[in-house]
Amino acid sequence: MLTLLSFAALAFLPSANALVRKENVGRLPALGWNSWNAFGCDVDSTKIMTAANEMVKLGLKDLGYEYVNIDDCWSVKDTRNLTTKRIIPDTSKFPGGISGVADQVHDLGLKIGIYSSAGETTCAGHPASLGYEQVDAEAFAEWGIDYLKYDNCGVPSNWTDQYTACVPDGSGNFPNGTCPDLSNPAPAGYDWAQSKTFTRYTMMRDALLAQDRTILYSLCDWGQADVNTWGNETGNSWRMSGDIQANWPHVAEIANENSFRMNYVGFWGHPDPDMLEVGNGNLTSEENRAHFALWAVMKSPLIIGTALDNITDANLAVLKNQYLIDFHQDPVVGRSAHPYKWGYNPDWTFDPVHPAEYWSGPSSTLEGTLVLMLNSEDSTSTRIASWNEIPELKGHDAYQVIDAWSGEDLGCVKEAYSTSLASHDVAVLVVKGAC
Ligand SMILES: *[C@@H]1O[C@H](CO)[C@@H](O)[C@H](O)[C@H]1NC(C)=O
Ligand SMILES: *[C@@H]1O[C@H](CO)[C@@H](O)[C@H](O)[C@H]1NC(C)=O
Ligand SMILES: *[C@@H]1O[C@H](CO)[C@@H](O)[C@H](O)[C@H]1NC(C)=O
Ligand SMILES: *[C@@H]1O[C@H](CO)[C@@H](O)[C@H](O)[C@H]1NC(C)=O
Ligand SMILES: *[C@@H]1O[C@H](CO)[C@@H](O)[C@H](O)[C@H]1NC(C)=O
Ligand SMILES: *[C@@H]1O[C@H](CO)[C@@H](O)[C@H](O)[C@H]1NC(C)=O
């Protein structure tokens, strides 16, 4: 029995090698801002500098938010520089070039990110880096870039994978709904590091590592080619799903998918359920804070995607929640929170509408345990955290508890904490010592 168990554990243990970088870059999940969810293709240096200045002014920088990332559409569309082969920054949007805006961002004590794709063109049809990895990595380094988001558009037919992936969940099963398009499944035991997708992303990793500059490498292959099994050795984070959209059904769907990937979270490597939509679309105030809290406890990169000069006080307070940031940036505990119970569904149910509702994780920064409870239903409902169900809390009857949203000390709570939650809201508890 023991042998069988250890074999199963080994078979699904992620690669131990990781992209370990200087000055701890990429060791903890990234904190920052990106232009795409707020502005799409309509990006320029004014918008980038507005975001950077607001990050300082609003106190986000003081909390550790550091990357200001330019997404797609920063370059001249149809050509590279015929002499240097470099991508040409669009000077109608960035009059000082990318290096100009990089200097200004650095002057604020922040870091700057750029975007490209592991294909011939980006998703908006601009020149991308497949075949030009060295040229582009060199240009990015010279311009002062600190972060690269590397998308998966514009892949020519001779670079597509031989097989489509069906990705197992955290316990090695294939939950219902994860294999919608298995037209050409890989044989059992196929090593996805043999795939062309792996090669496309590895070529850019090697080009970045060859530069005399530390550039955080954020893979965006939409979870394809079972990236969870090779993401840790290739990048600092890797997208595990398709793009997020600013509405609850999308947020819940991605939270459900990522909940099965928590064994892959650790120092230097983080599955990425995509950038934040807090402040965007039709998310209610409950949905905004549930989205942020779930992303924070999953130790996802937290990349803000809203116009910061326009953000409401309520949404800003969510992004600045000290308890969640402390949990997320724990320098001692690398693992994320894990679901300890699904709640609405039986445990391990794959359900895009009702993700796991009960999560817990240890925290050195909070000197205790973080507990999250979600109401995934469409109406108000009660959720109960029972200490004897929570792995970190079994063994004592009563604990000191703080409500992470209000900061209120709830005192010594015996056996369980029960709370009524509005639709799509979360309770976040900081559970301290036994009492
Ligand atoms: C990723 O690699 C690092 C360094 O080798 C290791 O500490 C970490 O545990 C790995 N992550 C996972 C999820 O195995
Ligand atoms: C291409 O690069 C050369 C050499 O740096 C430069 O002189 C020229 O202006 C660039 N052309 C464009 C269109 O950016
Ligand atoms: C795809 O074709 C291009 C252009 O001929 C070539 O440079 C590249 O090596 C090919 N890729 C693969 C994976 O064979
Ligand atoms: C927001 O929009 C999505 C997608 O259009 C829809 O499914 C959802 O019900 C809407 N939510 C609210 C609170 O209006
Ligand atoms: C700011 O918010 C207003 C009202 O919510 C909206 O109409 C406007 O488009 C927003 N501006 C930006 C830059 O997002
Ligand atoms: C998975 O799908 C099968 C067949 O559609 C169904 O019988 C089973 O209950 C589903 N399991 C879960 C956990 O949803």
Is 9 among the domain residues? no
Is 7 among the domain residues? no
Q: Which residues are catalytic?
A: 151, 243
pLDDT-derived band at 14 (thresholds 50, 70, 90) equals very low
Pairing of β 67-69 and β 111-117: parallel
Kindly report the protein residue whose alpha carbon is nearest to atom 8 of ligand 2. Answer: 81
- Give, for ligand 5, the residue of 35, 277, 310 to mutate: max count of ligand atoms closer than 8 Å to Cβ: 310
Full DSSP string of 363-398: ETTTTEEEEEEE--SSS-EEEEEEGGGSTTTTT-SE
Question: Which of 166, 182, 178, 54 minimizes the C-alpha distance to 108?
Answer: 54
Kindly report the protein residue whose alpha carbon is nearest to atom 11 of ligand 4. Answer: 282
pLDDT of residue 18: 79
Q: Taking 90 as the threshold, does the pLDDT of residue 183 lie above it? A: no
pLDDT of residue 193: 92
Give residue 282 CA to ligand 4 midpoint distance, Å: 6
pLDDT-derived band at 184 (thresholds 50, 70, 90) equals confident
Kindly report the protein residue whose alpha carbon is nearest to atom 13 of ligand 3. Answer: 159
Is 88 among the domain residues? yes
Lowest mean pLDDT, pick from 94-103, 174-183, 422-431 = 174-183
Asked if 274 and 306 touch (Cβ cutoff 8 Å), the reply is no
Lowest mean pLDDT, pick from 63-67, 170-174, 214-218, 245-249 = 170-174
Tens-digit pLDDT profile for residues 23-61:
899 999 999 999 999 999 999 999 999 999 999 999 999
**190 Cβ inside 6 Å of ligand 3:** no
Task: Give me the CATH number covering residue 168.
Answer: 3.20.20.70
Minimum-distance ligand to the CA of 283? 4
pLDDT average, residue stretch 142-162: 96
Instruction: Mark out the alpha helices in 40-96 (DSSP H runs).
Output: 45-57
d(CA 125, CA 410): 53
Tens-digit pLDDT profile for residues 388-429:
999 999 999 999 999 999 999 999 999 999 999 999 999 999
Per the structure, the complete domain to which residue 158 belongs is given by 16-331
Give residue 118 CA to ligand 6 midpoint distance, Å: 36
91 and 229 in one domain? yes
379 and 266 in one domain? no
Q: What are phi and psi of 286, to 5 degrees?
A: -65, -45
Structure tokens at 387: 């200490």
293 and 350 in one domain? no
Q: Which helix (H) or strand (E) holds 323?
A: helix 322-328
Kindly report the protein residue whose alpha carbon is nearest to atom 11 of ligand 2. Answer: 81
Q: What percent of the chain is predicted at pLDDT more than 90?
A: 85
Is 3 among the domain residues? no
Higher pLDDT, 364 or 229: 364
222 and 97 in one domain? yes
Minimum-distance ligand to the CA of 349? 6
358 and 308 in one domain? no
Domain boundary (331, 360, 391) is at 331
Domain count, the chain: 2
Q: pTM score > 0.75 for this model?
A: yes
250 and 130 in one domain? yes
Domain boundary (331, 359, 380) is at 331
d(CA 378, CA 352): 14
83: Cβ–Cβ under 8 A, 6 or more apart, which residues? Answer: none
80: Cβ–Cβ under 8 A, 6 or more apart, which residues? Answer: 86, 87, 88, 127, 132
Is 2 among the domain residues? no
Q: Give the ligand 1 atom nearest the CA of 15.
A: 14
3-state helix, strand, coil in the chain (%, to 5): 30, 20, 45
pLDDT of residue 53: 98
112 and 136 in one domain? yes
Task: Give me the CATH number covering residue 414.
Answer: 2.60.40.1180
429 and 391 in one domain? yes
Is 42 among the domain residues? yes
Say whether 225 sits in a helix, a strand or coil: helix
- Average pLDDT over the chain, rounded to whole? 92
Give residue 307 CA to ligand 5 midpoint distance, Å: 8
Q: Taking 70 as the threshold, does the pLDDT of residue 16 lie above it? A: no
Q: Taking 70 as the threshold, does the pLDDT of residue 2 lie above it? A: no
Give residue 266 CA to ligand 1 midpoint distance, Å: 6
Is 6 among the domain residues? no
Give residue 17 CA to ligand 1 midpoint distance, Å: 6
**310 Cβ inside 6 Å of ligand 5:** yes
Is 190 among the domain residues? yes
| 84 burial type by CB count under 10 A (0-12 exposed, 13-18 middle, 19+ buried) | exposed
Kindly report the protein residue whose alpha carbon is nearest to atom 12 of ligand 2. Answer: 81
345 and 279 in one domain? no
pLDDT average, residue stretch 130-155: 98
351 and 243 in one domain? no
**307 Cβ inside 6 Å of ligand 5:** yes
Kindly report the protein residue whose alpha carbon is nearest to atom 1 of ligand 3. Answer: 158
Domain boundary (306, 331, 356) is at 331
Tens-digit pLDDT profile for residues 263-284:
999 999 999 999 999 999 999 9
Largest CA distance in the chain: 72
User: Which residue ranges have their beta carbon within 6 Å of ligand 6?
Assistant: 176, 349
412 and 364 in one domain? yes
DSSP state, residue 90 = -
226 and 195 in one domain? yes
